Structure 1
Amino acid sequence: MRMIKKSVLFLCTIALLSACTQKNTSEVTRDKKQTDAVTSTIANQSGDYRMLFIDGKYRTSSTRGYTLELATVENISAFEIGLMNLSKSEFNPSQFYFIEGQFITNEEINHWLAVKSQENPNGLNSKQENNMLISTILEQDYMILNNGNYEFSGVSIGLALNPKTTASATLTDEELLAKGKEIVNQLLPLLRAKEGFDSIPIMFGLFKQSVDNGLSHGTYFATATSNSGTSVSKWSNTKLQKRVFPLETDKTEESSVFIAFKRNVEKFFPNLNGIVGNATFTDGAMSELDIKITTQFYGQAEMIAFEQFLVEQAGMTYSASELSVKIRVETVRGTELVVYKRAGENTYHSIVLN
């Protein structure tokens, strides 16, 4: 029987809302072949994916720089986090572990994003369009722990589509969806031909990027999953939108509620440096809210008081059971406190990290 060595590492990670990590000496496998040693995973406490660490380090994707082709920083965030959130319906975070894309190469991305030609038959863009229709491709990998080995068991592919194909022409949503479906059915056989991709579920998300230079986010508008084969015919419409609070131009009820929450927090701790909310809306309703509070105070008594205050205020303001909420308090030392509630829960939890 394979022995797994375990020890506790004190690693604070903001995105995962975890105070500590559990070290696990195991392997990542793709098609039952060992590829790398995995030495640590961070525990899931708030419905997020548990992350895999390679040789004790977070392994980034070799192709991650391609997301910089998106028009705005907000597009990049919505593109990456949005795909991870959509993946939860296909790859349950209680069963699957997350790692940034490890198997699609820079060379493949370059060929796929280039214009299709005799020299490049796998190109997904067309020379008929001045601007590239498909801006970038994002890979996210999902692993299952099986008998001490992490096996490559699913992948999500995000396709960022640019609706503004020429200086004067913008595709309608129907046209963008039709072209996105066409691109997926060109890309899927190329993915299935790769080692380890032949029999795993592959989820696709079509992302309509915003074309301005402001704070607006692009949105995922359609998803499909291929469990086998080289074509996809069944698609689901996805109304996933991102909004930032507070914005002066946002006069919605959700914005007003956030502003009232912000004012109450600032009255309690007037020396705060900033409070910003990032909200996810699914089918028109707010489904996730991530609030970042920045401050300079360090006192332990103050932090305990702030923890109690935030749990109370969040419970009164954001009590809807279907809403997932995370409130992070950050100082120059890093994340000090996290208050959160998972979707489906009515009770808030808190974690003091330092």
Structure 2
Amino acid sequence: MKRLFTLPAFAAVLVLGGCIPSIGPEKEEVIQENEDVEQETVLIPEVQLNEQYYRTLLPFKKSATRGLIVNQVYSKYDIEEVEEGLLRLSAKHFDPNDHFFQEGQFIDEKTAIHWLSRSSKFDDGLNPPINDKMTPQEISEKAPVYLAHIVEQNYYVKTGDKKVGLAGISIGLAMNSVYYQRDAAEAKIPDKTIEQQGMKMAETIVQRMRKLDGVGDVPITVGLFKQQSRNSIVPGTYFAQAYVDKGKDKPNGWKEVKEKFVLLPASSDVDNYRDVNERFEKVKQDINDYFPGFISVVGTAFYSDNNLESIKINVPIQFYGKNEVVALTQYMTSLIMKYYPKTEVEVSITSGNGPESLITKNAGDEEPSIHIYSY
């Protein structure tokens, strides 16, 4: 197992950033109130990492549908992003500064399995029915599996002295962009079809959610997520969202979500991402000038509303010694400060032994934080 060490400053390069806020009590004990559900005592952590992250009610409760995602969502990148992306959508309606997070507790495993099934298997299945007479091609053309997974997130606020109550629910629908059948060719699903099917299913799910014990009349946010193909190395994104007002059972209109992940160096759509691609190529060239022959740098840029929000860079190396890792980490830090002074950046330097070092910088930070791993 590797241990994590935070490096001291190396000249002007390795200066640590991101101080931990002042900490008072570690946690606050409150009563969690849900409509039609038995009250229980939960804890609210005192520390909020930053304004983007919700504080999570403790003890941590896993969603009943968590285990299903591995079987339904093809890419490990999508598994992470379908949850993280829904957190971003939720923050637009449920302020992280005064709302507390809990994984979804209202859709149980049996209900999720039924909803994700075909209606020919369970009456409440949301995916289209099939029969034994249909050929694989007919299934691909007329009845592919559209809905792959359902993510539920719950949000609470303080309702009085030492009490918290349910204030909102977010639902993410992971939609297939490619349908795979055993012993049959894969079939791409048109974007328009994904959108139409997703919106239709979302309305049905909201109506069903209103009937579940404990949900009540709280607002519900719904997001539609387009997952990528099995071999994709960048995650999919949410492409549409809707807000369901308190007590309503239908979305109050749909809005486009403009998010995109771009693989760097970009092999296509260069004109749209010319600036970020050129800077990334300069980073690669600078590294190879001083550490030639064994470094292959790849990255992923995240755009929201056509604005560059963050970049993740992976630097795989052959491990020759700790001094080399430190030297490369120092140099990568200087490149981040040079080429991405106002951008959120995460750099992972890895070898066959696992992670070697981590460099992180928030968008507003002047200097990155650096960590060196040690066995």
TM-score range for the pair, normalised by the shorter chain length: 0.7 to 0.9
Q: Which residue of structure 1 aligns with residue 69 of structure 2?
A: 67
Q: Is the 8 A contact 1:291 1:328 kept in 2?
A: yes
Q: CA deviation at 1:241?
A: 1.6
2:157 maps to a residue whose letter is I
Q: Is the 8 A contact 1:41 1:50 kept in 2?
A: no
Please tell me whether residue 316 in structure 1 is matched to residue 319 in structure 2: no
Of structures 1 and 2, the one with the larger relative CO (CA 8 A, separation 6+) is 2
Cα gap change, 1:311 to 1:130, in 2 (>3 Å):
same
List per-residue Cα deviations over 1:88-107 (Å, max 9, x = no partner). 22223223333332332101
Q: CA deviation at 1:127?
A: 0.6
Q: Secondary structure at the match of 2:214?
A: coil
TM-score norm. by structure 1 comes to 0.74
2:174 maps to a residue whose letter is A
Unaligned stretches of 5+ in structure 1? 1-10
Larger Rg: 2
Q: CA deviation at 1:86?
A: 2.3
Q: CA deviation at 1:282?
A: 1.9
Please tell me whether residue 258 in structure 1 is matched to residue 280 in structure 2: yes
User: In structure 2, how many angstroms separate the alpha carbons of the residues matched to 1:341 and 1:217?
Assistant: 21
User: In structure 2, how many angstroms separate the alpha carbons of the residues matched to 1:327 and 1:144?
Assistant: 35
The aligned runs of 1:1-354 (5 Å cut-off) are: 23-27=26-30, 29-31=32-34, 34-35=39-40, 37-38=42-43, 40=45, 42-45=47-50, 47-52=51-56, 54-55=58-59, 58-68=60-70, 69-116=72-119, 120-127=122-129, 129-145=142-158, 147-164=161-178, 170-228=188-246, 229-246=248-265, 251=270, 252-253=273-274, 254-264=276-286, 276-291=298-313, 313-320=335-342, 323-327=343-347, 338-342=359-363, 345=364, 347-348=366-367, 350=369
User: In structure 1, how many angstroms separate the alpha carbons of the residues matched to 2:355 and 2:48?
Assistant: 19
Q: CA deviation at 1:28?
A: 6.0
Q: Is the 8 A contact 2:244 2:252 kept in 1?
A: no
TM-score norm. by structure 2 comes to 0.70
User: In structure 2, how many angstroms separate the alpha carbons of the residues matched to 1:114 and 1:280?
Assistant: 32
1:50 maps to a residue whose letter is Y
Unaligned stretches of 5+ in structure 2? 6-17, 131-141
List per-residue Cα deviations over 1:287-320 (Å, max 9, x = no partner). 2223456787768xx59x957x666543431245
Q: Secondary structure at the match of 2:157?
A: strand
User: In structure 2, how many angstroms separate the alpha carbons of the residues matched to 1:139 and 1:268?
Assistant: 48
Deviates more, 1:232-241 or 1:166-175: 166-175
List per-residue Cα deviations over 1:133-162 (Å, max 9, x = no partner). 111101122233454444332222110112
Q: Which residue of structure 2 aligns with residue 6 of structure 1?
A: none
Q: CA deviation at 1:59?
A: 4.0
User: In structure 1, how many angstroms separate the alpha carbons of the residues matched to 2:357 and 2:235?
Assistant: 28
User: In structure 2, how many angstroms separate the alpha carbons of the residues matched to 1:333 and 1:19?
Assistant: 27
Q: How many residues align?
A: 329
Deviates more, 1:139-148 or 1:190-199: 139-148
User: In structure 2, how many angstroms separate the alpha carbons of the residues matched to 1:248 and 1:78?
Assistant: 23
Q: CA deviation at 1:113?
A: 0.9
Q: CA deviation at 1:51?
A: 4.1
Q: Is the 8 A contact 1:274 1:294 kept in 2?
A: yes
Q: Is the 8 A contact 1:31 1:195 kept in 2?
A: no
Over aligned residues, Cα RMSD in angstroms?
A: 4.0
Q: Is the 8 A contact 2:32 2:164 kept in 1?
A: yes
**What fraction of aligned residue pairs are identical, expressed as a percent?**
23
Cα gap change, 1:352 to 1:168, in 2 (>3 Å):
closer
List per-residue Cα deviations over 1:72-101 (Å, max 9, x = no partner). 223323322222222222223223333332
